[in-house]
Structure formats: C-alpha cells, structure tokens
Amino acid sequence: MVETATDRKLEGTVKTGDRNQFRGQKGLQDLVLDANLCTGCGACIGLCPYFRSYRGKTVALFPCTLMTGRCFDFCPKVEVDLDNLSEKFFGRSYDGNPLGSYQTVMISRADEKVGSAAFQAGGTVSAIIYFALKKGYLDGAVLTDRDGLLPIPRFVTNPEDVFTCVSSKYSAAPTLSALNQGIRDGFTQIGVVATPCQVLSTALMRSNPLDDKAFVDPTGLIIGLFCTWALDFRPFEKFVSDRVDIKNITKVDIPPPPSDMMEIYLRGGQKIEIPLEEIRPLVLEGCSYCADMTAEFSDISVGVLEGQPDMNTLIIRTERGRKIVNEAQKEGYLVISDMPAKNLEHLQSAAGNKKRRAVIKAKQEGILSAKILEKITRRSHVISD
Amino acid sequence: MSFLTDNREGIQHLLMGNEAIARGALEAGVNVASGYPGTPSSEIIETLARVSGERNLYVEWSTNEKVALEVAAAASFAKLRSLCAMKQVGMNVASDFLLHLALCGTRGGMVVVTCDDPGALSSSNEGESRHFARMFEIPLLEPGDFQEAKNMAKWAFELSEEIRNVVIVRSVTRVSHASGNVKLGRLSQTQRHAEFKYDDDALETYEGPAESTPVGHKHTLQQEKIKKVAEIFEESPFNTYHGPEKPELLIITSSVCNLYTKEAINLLGVEERVGLLKLGTTWPLPPKLLKRYLSTTDKIMIVEEVLPFLEENIKILAAEQAKEIGAKTFYGKNDGSIPSVGELNPDLVVLALSKILSTGYMAMPSEYKKRFQDSSFVVVPDRGRTFCPGCPHRASFWSIHNALQMDNRKGFVCGDIGCYAMGRLSCGFNTTKTLHAMGSGTGLASGFGKLAKFGMDQPVLAVCGDSTFFHAVMPALVNAVHHNSNITLVVLDNSGTAMTGFQPHPGLTVNAMGEEAPAIDIAKVCEAMGAVVEIRDPFDLEGTRNTLNRLIEKEEGVKVFILRQGCALSPEKRHAKEYDMRIDEALCLGEDCGCNRLCTRIFQCPGLIWDREKNRAMIDEVLCVGCGVCSSICPAEAIKKEEVA
C-alpha cells in the first residue's frame, strides 16, 4: 500500500530505536516534503505555528526541534499501519480490496428538501452534510470552498453555507486545516468531506496515535470523495490563466468516463474543454504513489457514476455512515437506489487500476521495500505483477 | 562652557577626536560643512551643526558623500572655507568628484575628513582611504593624538589655501571615538563674503571657471602644487622624532599607531634602543626628512593599520636614496611582523618589537587570554548581535522571511547597509543573502531580476532603509524599472538614519541645523519612476506578509513595498510605551505547547525571556518597549497587550 511509500527511507536511514528522533517536523521535512510526496492535505496545518499552506503547498516557516509531533503522526504520507487502522475501524485486517472495506455500494442523488444548487453530479455530499447539520447529527462540517481556482478550507456550522462549497476542486487543498481549527474551537461532532489522503490522515488522527488519555473522537461523519489525482495549484493556475480569465470561471468539471476532458464553464455560458492529456503533467508527484481511489477509511464514500451524470456512486462502509444515509433518505433529503452490477465492476476495475499504477510507480522509484511490496502483492485482489 | 564656544586660548577640554576636528575647523573659521553620516565620522558634522547659528555656519547632511563633497566644493569656489566629513566607504562614493576637484583646484580652504574603520568595527569592510591622496595627488594629514586632531584640522585649511587644492585629513575609529585633553586656540573672527568669480581666463584657477580641463595644463599645475606640499612637509611640526641619535631600530608610524607604539616601547623599556618617527604628513612623504632618519640605522619597522601604505612609499624613497643611506632591513606588513588584517593594539606592536629586538618579552600569552575569557564568560550571558526590543526590522524580516517560505520558490533578499544588514543573522531570521555597498542590494536585485531567460525562477527581493534609499538606491531602482526587472524592493522606512544616530535625511521635515525642510516622499518618488507601490505598518505581521506574497506573485516589473514604522530608539518613541505587555500564565503552555518556544527560540526579541523554573515565557519589564508585536506570534494567544492609558 502506497501510504507506506516512505518505508524504505525509514528502514534505510533510521536504525531501529532511533526512529523517535524523526517523528516531528524534521522527519516530515526529510521523508515527505523534501521527497516531494506531500499532497498538501492540510493535516499538519494549524497544529503549531510552523507549518503553513500557501497556494496548495505545505511549507515549514522555521525549523522545529521537537522529537515528536502530531504533524508527523497524522501525515498520510509517512508509513501507515493499514492493518491497525483497518482493525480499528472495520474490525478486520487490511485485505487490499480495490474499494476497501464496505457494507454496500449504492447510487444516490439529492432529494427535494435540499433544493437545487450548482451541484457536481447528484449533489449527494451536499445533501448529506446539509441534512446532518440541520438535524444536529453534526455540529460543524469541514468543506472546501474556492477563490478563483484556489481551494479554500472552510469550517461550516450553518447548513445553508454548505451550498457555497458545492462542486469539485481539482487541485490540492489543505482542507484538514479547517478540521484542526474546528477541533481547537471545541466542536465534537464534526463532519469531514475529504479526499482519500485526507480521509486517511483523519483516520490516523482518530486512532489517537500519541495515546492521549483525554482523547475523544471529534468527528461525527467522514465522507470520502473519489479521487484519481490532484493538480499542483501553481502550474494549474498558470495553465488555465494562459487560456481564460480566471475571474470568469463559474465551474470546473471532469465528467465521468468515457469523457476525457476537463470542462471549464465561464460566465455567460461559454465552456472550454481541455484534454486530460494536457492536464496530467500538472498532477502532484505525491498523487502518483497513492493507491486509494475511494477514500477507504471513510464512513461513506461518494463519487461520480459512469453513464448517469446526475447521480452519484455511494459506498457505505460503517454503521454511523449507514445510519445518517438512511435517515437522510427517510426524511426526503436523499434518493437512493441499487448500483447496477456493470457499474460496480467498472468501479472496482478503476480503483484496482489506480492501485496497480501506484505500486508500479513505487516499485520503479524504489520507494517501497521488497518486504512491503510482497505483502501488498500477496494480499491484493488486483495486483499481479 | 562648551568647547565649541570657549574662546580662552590654552584652556584644556576633554574632547573626542571628532569633536577636536570640529573645534579645529571652527578655529579655522569654517563656513560650510557637509557630510553623510557613517560611523566613526558622524560626530564631526553633528558637532558643527550644534553651533551653526552661533558661528554662522551652513551645515548639512547631504544625500550622499559625492553630493556632500560637491556642496563643500561650491563653498570653496565662492572663497569660503569648507569641510566635508565621511567614513572610509564614503570616500569611494565621493571619489569620482574628488578626482576632478583635485585637478581643478580649490579657492577657499577646503578639507575632506575621512574616518577609516580598521578592523571594520562598524563597517562591512576595512577600506583604506589614504590611497586616494596618492592616486589623486593631494596632501594627506594623519593626526597621531587628540591635540593634533584639532591642530591639524585647523592647519589643513591654511595649507589648502596656500596650495589652492583640497586637503585630506584621515582619522581612524580610535582617534575619532576616543577622547583626550585638547588645548584650545582662538576661534576665528574672520567674516568671509561668498562670491564665485568666473570671468578670468579658463587657464586661471582662482578667478576663472572651475573646471578640470584643459587636463594637460591643470595636471601640470596640480603636480607643481604637490611638489610644493612636499617641501612644506619637510618642516612640519606634525612630524616628530623621539629616541636616540643612532637607534638600533627606527620605527616609522602615523595615526593612532603612534600611541600603540609609544606604549609598546615603554612596556619593553627600550627607549634607549628604539627611535620613533611619527609622521603627521603622510602624502606626499617629505623625502629629506626621511633620508635624515633612514640614515640613522639599518633596521626600519613600519607600524600602520590596514594596507602597507607608508611601508611601500618609504621603501620607494629608500630605494631612490640607497646609494647614500645604504641597504636597509624593513619590518612591517610585507614580512609579516605586523598583521595585515584588522586593528593593531599595543600588544601586537610589543610582539613585533620583542621579536626584532630579541627582548624575550612575552606579549599576552594565548593561554592567559583563553583563561581570562573562560572565567569571564561564566557570568556573561551568551548574547549575539540582535535588533533592539521594539525594532521594526525584526517585525519586517519576520514577515519577509515567512512570505518567502510560504512562496516556496527559493526566493531571496539582497541586503543593504543599515541596522538591517543584520537581516542575515538569526535576529533577522537569516533572510538577506547578499551584503555589499550602499544601494548595492537594489542594484544586484535589478540584475538578478533579469535572469529569467536563463531559467532563474526564484523571486528576487531587496531591502533598503529610508536614508539608503536616497543615498544610492534611487539610480538602481530607476535601472530596475527601466529594464522591467522583476523585483520587489522593501523599503524599511524607520524615519531617520537610525544606525548612525538619527541624522535627518531628505525624507524628513527637518535638516541638520534643526530647520524645517521639505520632505521628499519615497512612495511618490517610486510611483513617479513607474513602480507599483504599497505601504504598510510592519507591526501588522499577517497583513504585511499577505501583501508581500501578493507582490511577489506579480510576474513583471518593479514592486516597492514601504514598511513604515519608527525606530524604537528614535527620540519620538523613546520612553513612550504603546502597550503594557504580560504573559497569561494560564494560557502559556510552556514546553507542552508544541510551539517549541517560538517566542524566545525564533522571534528572539530581547524583551521576551524564558523562565526555566516556571517553564513559561516572561516579559522582561526593563527591556520591553511595548511595541505589541509578539502578541501576534504566540499560537496560544498567551502574550497579552494592553494599551497604555
């Protein structure tokens, strides 16, 4: 699994027992930032005065000399014990299924009570968060807003504010800095809408890695977003601004396959299409090592649905996820129906392909140790080479 | 009674070297004095400015040294007496005009005082200005004590009028900034009328046009003048000899090294063996006088600081006269007897002397020095150089550093001359990466900002102070704008020439004499040049950082960011606390915070201290000036500020 991408470096450079020396900012700097593995998820932002996010990149302002830190322990790009997390959240060890652990896969869309906003696809995420905030299942939600093309983390308490954050962002966002803010402000039932790396970090945080005796899980619901990659903001912005005036953009979309285009909608109804081939060189280096398409450590995961642009794919993984989804459906916020078998097959194959690409890449770059490669290969349903 | 107005001849005052020079100028009846501040020279102009009303002087802090020299020269051309003061680096700035002035000649007595800084105690170099005298063929005087500083300054005006050319008086830090007893002479009562006469023939240098051309004619005249000077110097009372008629070793020295050498001879008790020739007139050297003394012995030691100026010139004279005076053994910088870098002191002279004379005297053993330092440092806290509490530069560099870190493209800052030269140290968060002459930061940035076509994608910044802006940054900024260089200049405007003691500059509403003066607005100047200009208070850390990040993002052209906040030591701010600061001990989590002691480990304002016992940050009530900035860096919001009622 690619979240262990830095394992070889740890094994190669740190003698057993010395590892504690590196479990702070210096470790992150050496193993993640300098290794270009960071995807700017925001997990380390707002925990201390040192890490900051700027235009999609995480930077350390000054060196910190502490030996340990949440920054290191919450980072999804440092070695992660997937068995431990899987045991904790799903009651079984990690088995390498392309979709992760789940109860059911459904399709869904927002129902009447949500009203209509400029949703991406079926508006499932907005519908569930709106419902959960309104009914008090959540006391706040971590979402991602947008300023031009720049994703902006937001902590939302008013259900109506959910609709200002609709639509996908395609460049890396430090969304989890808003989670850290919400926790600091004392919220205890926080909804988190996050990409796979962000969901993994949230799972790490929820596993209380520093053994804090007073720890209570501050989250109420984790909604994972399907993700194949995120773009490096700066070159992406330059790429787009060379073609259109960013101030005029109303929406950016990548429709599900077989479309192979990024669509940029402009004020006045104009739309330009950019082939994904041209966009791919702008993908963050760290994303190419990621083997998680469906945010495997969420309560529920949501993505587009092939062939039905007004519907979402909905993976239900945990009891608390199932409960809120059922309530939302019952009260008229969400429409749910069964996933066609063919779609499920395609989904599994897409997720499996992401896993395979990541492992091949990691193998090529020599980032994974032989031991870990063997472990993943043996367990995985899809990885054969 | 002030030494500046005391007219009782022979009365002694304890004077700083620079005060003695100013007094000498007053005794000579100086009319106009100009300069640019720079340690160790600043007190000369400041002292004269204090009596500008009483003594009917015109005194100014000029924009830079070249302009200062031109202002002083104008007075000389109008047959007034004028003095121009600067530090060694200023001579480089002024030298372009000085070359032409020396060729053109002067009318009223004109003296340039340069204060060199051997060992670079207050400089970014230990430049040597004596060579300008030789290079430009003008007389050079070097006072060997405080009385001489006064006497020489006065006599220099007479010499200047006698030869009708400018005279250099060269001081060093230990003459300018040390004090000694000085017997006063009478203050001048002469009234001069200013008039620039230009009607005579162009070849006439006294009442014709003031020009350096025709060069052949003027150069010939200039060389006649310097020959005459050598003759005058043969009889100068500033050249003195102490010692036996036939010494075993002849020491030739000048300036403060005279005092070090006297002390060394005394310490070793070798008065009977060593002769000391102290030269006050060091260019041109008086050849007959030197021949007389070089003839007395075979061993010659030259004691001087920085470059072997005397040594080389004396060797030329000795070579020319070798047939008559015989071969000599020279000791000095070239053979390593005297160090070639840094200041001298009596101990270093003792070391050289005792080797040559085989006295067996041990100068301070290195072992003793180490023991002394070890025992001293037990009680002396480890203090690096840092910005004062409340210094706006700390806040500015904090934001510049953070903006560059966040920008994450390996941007850098070209530094400049002022307190903010410490931007390269930890107190400035190691932010500046180049440091050279006044204005060079912006000039370098202008060059760096054009390297994109060779693949350079690092943001380029420069910093400069308000006084430096006027001194030498403006031409560099014009260059950057005109060539569309992609740079951001941060003007650290603390409303004064702070490092040298708050001398006014063209951006302020007051001049050197305390009169009201029109101020030049830096922002408007930059806008007129065509730069994008933003102004902020650097004490607003996040706002400053934000604006700077936005400016750095702009891909083209010159951005000027003016950070305006008065120096913490400025007369207006001193003793005026804006905030009472305190640590909320319930909020400060100490080592448990996870902030890793950001306030005392990184921010490092001397007003913040770490209480090891309480494991909390503390405010040092004595040092804190209440600027309030640290309250915005504490992540736990434990540093509280309250407005002083």
pLDDT band at A21 (very low <50, low <70, confident <90, very high): low
Tokens of A178: 């808003």
Please list every residue in chain A whose beta carbon sits closer than 8 Å to the beta carbon of residue B556. none
Would the CB atoms of B596 and A47 count as touching at under 8 Å? no
In chain A, pLDDT over 90 holds for what percent of residues?
Answer: 65
CATH class of B392-564: alpha beta
Tally the domains of chain A: 2
Tokens of B582: 């305190």
Asked if B12-234 and B240-366 have one fold, the answer is yes
Lowest mean pLDDT among A51-55, A371-375, B258-262, B610-614: A371-375
**pLDDT at residue A382 in the model:** 43
- The residue with greater pLDDT, A248 or B31, is B31
Q: How crowded is residue B591: how many other Cβ atoms within 10 Å of its Cβ? A: 12
In the predicted structure, residue A301 carries a pLDDT above the cut 50: yes
Q: At the topology level of CATH, where does B240-366 sit?
A: Rossmann fold (3.40.50)
pLDDT in tens, A183-224: 999 999 999 999 999 999 999 999 998 888 999 999 999 999
In the predicted structure, residue A380 carries a pLDDT above the cut 60: no
Looking at the structure, do residues A138 and A265 belong to the same domain, yes or no? no
Q: Report how far residue B303's alpha carbon sits from residue B254's, in angstroms, rounded to the nearest whole number.
A: 8
Q: At the topology level of CATH, where does B579-643 sit?
A: Alpha-Beta Plaits (3.30.70)
End-to-end CA distance of chain A: 14
Residue A224: which H helix or E strand, with range?
strand A219-225
Would the CB atoms of B408 and A48 count as touching at under 8 Å? no
pLDDT in tens, B265-302: 999 999 999 999 999 999 999 999 999 999 999 999 99
Contacts 24+ apart (CB under 8 A), B352-357: B352/B301, B352/B303, B353/B249, B353/B251, B353/B264, B353/B265, B353/B268, B353/B270, B353/B274, B353/B301, B354/B268, B356/B249, B356/B299, B356/B301, B356/B331, B357/B248, B357/B249, B357/B268, B357/B270, B357/B273, B357/B274
Strand intervals (E) in B105-236: 110-116, 140-141, 167-172, 179-183
Q: Does A49 touch chain B (CB under 8 A)?
A: yes
Q: Report how far residue B554's alpha carbon sits from residue B549's, in angstroms, rounded to the nearest whole number.
A: 9
Q: Report how far residue A130's alpha carbon sits from residue A162's, in angstroms, rounded to the nearest whole number.
A: 6
3-class state of residue B58 by DSSP: strand
User: Is A293 a member of any domain?
Assistant: yes
Q: Report how far residue A331's alpha carbon sits from residue B292's, in angstroms, rounded to the nearest whole number.
A: 116
Looking at the structure, do residues A257 and A115 belong to the same domain, yes or no? no
Residue B15: which H helix or E strand, with range?
strand B12-16
pLDDT band at B115 (very low <50, low <70, confident <90, very high): very high
Quote the crossing angle between the two packed helices B309-320 and B287-294, to the nearest 10°.
80
Would the CB atoms of A69 and B407 count as touching at under 8 Å? no
- Sorted by sequence, the CB contacts under 8 Å of residue A377 that are 6+ apart come out as A359, A383, A384
pLDDT in tens, B203-236: 888 899 999 999 999 999 999 999 999 999 999 9
In the predicted structure, residue B359 carries a pLDDT above the cut 90: no
| Out of B549, B596, B633, closest to residue A66 by CB | B596
Would the CB atoms of A62 and B406 count as touching at under 8 Å? no
- Average of pLDDT values for A70-98? 90
pLDDT in tens, B333-345: 999 999 999 999 9
Looking at the structure, do residues A138 and A270 belong to the same domain, yes or no? no
In the predicted structure, residue A372 carries a pLDDT above the cut 60: no
Would the CB atoms of B406 and A70 count as touching at under 8 Å? no
**pLDDT at residue A192 in the model:** 98
| Out of B401, B406, B635, closest to residue A49 by CB | B635
User: In this predicted complex, what is the ipTM?
Assistant: 0.88
Q: Report how far residue B32's alpha carbon sits from residue B49's, in angstroms, rounded to the nearest whole number.
A: 10
Q: How far is B402 from chain A (nearest CA, A)?
A: 6
In chain B, pLDDT over 90 holds for what percent of residues?
Answer: 90
**pLDDT at residue B645 in the model:** 79
Q: Report how far residue A145's alpha carbon sits from residue A137's, in angstroms, rounded to the nearest whole number.
A: 22
**pLDDT at residue A363 in the model:** 79
**What is B12-234's CATH number, 3.30.70.260, 3.50.50.100, 3.40.50.970, 3.30.360.10?**
3.40.50.970
Please list every residue in chain B whose beta carbon sits closer than 8 Å to the beta carbon of residue A51. none
| Out of A54, A62, A66, closest to residue B408 by CB | A54
Distances (CA, A) of A173 to A136, B410, B439: 27, 22, 41
| Out of B408, B429, B598, closest to residue A49 by CB | B598
pLDDT in tens, B400-424: 999 999 999 999 999 999 999 999 9
Residue B47: which H helix or E strand, with range?
helix B42-50
Q: How far is B596 from chain A (nearest CA, A)?
A: 6
Which letter does DSSP use for residue A33 in this model?
I
**pLDDT at residue A379 in the model:** 52
Tokens 């000391």 correspond to B276
Tokens of B410: 């390996």
In the predicted structure, residue A95 carries a pLDDT above the cut 90: no
Looking at the structure, do residues A163 and A309 belong to the same domain, yes or no? yes
pLDDT band at A375 (very low <50, low <70, confident <90, very high): low
pLDDT, chain A, mean = 87
Q: What is the domain extent for residue A266?
A: 233-281
Best probe of the A interface among B399, B404, B405, B600, by most A CBs < 10 A, is B405
- Sorted by sequence, the CB contacts under 8 Å of residue A376 that are 6+ apart come out as A1, A96, A359, A368, A383
Q: What is the DSSP string of B99-131?
A: HHHHHH--SS-EEEEEEE-TT-TTSSS----HH
Looking at the structure, do residues A265 and A155 belong to the same domain, yes or no? no
Does residue B639 contact residue B630 with C-beta atoms inside 8 Å? yes
**pLDDT at residue B379 in the model:** 76
- Average of pLDDT values for A255-266? 86
pLDDT in tens, A26-73: 999 988 999 899 999 999 999 999 999 999 999 999 999 998 899 999
3-class state of residue A106 by DSSP: strand
**pLDDT at residue B574 in the model:** 78
Would the CB atoms of B408 and A47 count as touching at under 8 Å? no
Comparing CA positions, the residue from B606, B568, B564, B542 lying closest to residue B398 is B542
pLDDT in tens, B85-99: 999 999 999 999 999
**pLDDT at residue A59 in the model:** 96
In the predicted structure, residue A370 carries a pLDDT above the cut 70: no
Quote the crossing angle between the two packed helices B17-27 and B146-163, to the nearest 10°.
40
Looking at the structure, do residues A245 and A319 belong to the same domain, yes or no? no
- Average of pLDDT values for A96-118? 88
Give ∠ CA B554-A248-A312 in degrees, rounded to 5.
115
**pLDDT at residue A376 in the model:** 53
Enumerate the domain spans of chain B.
12-234, 240-366, 392-564, 579-643
Tokens of B428: 């400035």
- Sorted by sequence, the CB contacts under 8 Å of residue A353 that are 6+ apart come out as A382
In chain B, pLDDT over 70 holds for what percent of residues?
Answer: 100
pLDDT in tens, B172-202: 999 999 999 999 999 999 999 999 999 998 8
pLDDT, chain B, mean = 95
pLDDT band at A373 (very low <50, low <70, confident <90, very high): low
Does residue B230 contact residue B217 with C-beta atoms inside 8 Å? no
Distances (CA, A) of A9 to A3, A84, A366, B86, B547: 13, 21, 10, 59, 39
- Which chain A residue has its CA at the smallest distance from B401's CA? A61
Looking at the structure, do residues A132 and A269 belong to the same domain, yes or no? no
Q: Report how far residue B380's alpha carbon sits from residue B369's, in angstroms, rounded to the nearest whole number.
A: 16
User: Is A43 a member of any domain?
Assistant: no
Q: Is the dihedral of CA A174, A179, A182, A184 positive or negative?
A: negative
Strand intervals (E) in B154-271: 167-172, 179-183, 240-242, 249-254
Looking at the structure, do residues A150 and A197 belong to the same domain, yes or no? yes
Would the CB atoms of A52 and B602 count as touching at under 8 Å? no
Tokens of A169: 């962002």
Backbone angles phi, psi at A249, to 5 degrees: -75, 130
- The residue with greater pLDDT, B170 or A166, is B170
Best probe of the A interface among B402, B406, B542, by most A CBs < 10 A, is B406
Looking at the structure, do residues A258 and A215 belong to the same domain, yes or no? no
Best probe of the B interface among A62, A185, A246, by most B CBs < 10 A, is A62
User: Is A324 a member of any domain?
Assistant: yes
Backbone angles phi, psi at B314, to 5 degrees: -70, -40
- Tally A–B CB contacts below 8 A: 38
Looking at the structure, do residues A249 and A225 belong to the same domain, yes or no? no
**pLDDT at residue B367 in the model:** 85
User: Is A20 a member of any domain?
Assistant: no
Which letter does DSSP use for residue A265 in this model?
E
pLDDT in tens, B49-69: 999 999 999 999 999 999 999
Lowest mean pLDDT among A58-67, A355-364, B604-613: A355-364
In the predicted structure, residue A364 carries a pLDDT above the cut 90: no
Lowest mean pLDDT among A132-141, B399-408, B570-579: B570-579
End-to-end CA distance of chain B: 41
Q: Report how far residue A233's alpha carbon sits from residue A252's, in angstroms, rounded to the nearest whole number.
A: 14
**pLDDT at residue A118 in the model:** 63
Q: How far is A61 from chain B (nearest CA, A)?
A: 6
- Which chain A residue has its CA at the smallest distance from B546's CA? A54
Please list every residue in chain B whose beta carbon sits closer than 8 Å to the beta carbon of residue A52. 402, 405-406
CA B505 vs. chain centroid, Å, equals 16
Backbone angles phi, psi at A216, to 5 degrees: -130, 135
- The residue with greater pLDDT, A81 or A7, is A81
User: Is A362 a member of any domain?
Assistant: no
3-class state of residue B503 by DSSP: strand
- Average of pLDDT values for A339-352? 94
In the predicted structure, residue A384 carries a pLDDT above the cut 90: no
Looking at the structure, do residues A302 and A193 belong to the same domain, yes or no? yes
pLDDT band at B313 (very low <50, low <70, confident <90, very high): very high
Lowest mean pLDDT among A82-86, B351-355, B440-444, B561-565: A82-86
Instruction: Give me the residues paired with residue B495 across strands.
Output: none
Q: How far is B472 from chain A (nearest CA, A)?
A: 32
Looking at the structure, do residues A163 and A189 belong to the same domain, yes or no? yes
H helical segments located in A49-164: 70-73, 82-90, 124-134
Best probe of the B interface among A23, A64, A67, by most B CBs < 10 A, is A64
Does residue B463 contact residue B416 with C-beta atoms inside 8 Å? yes
**pLDDT at residue B96 in the model:** 98
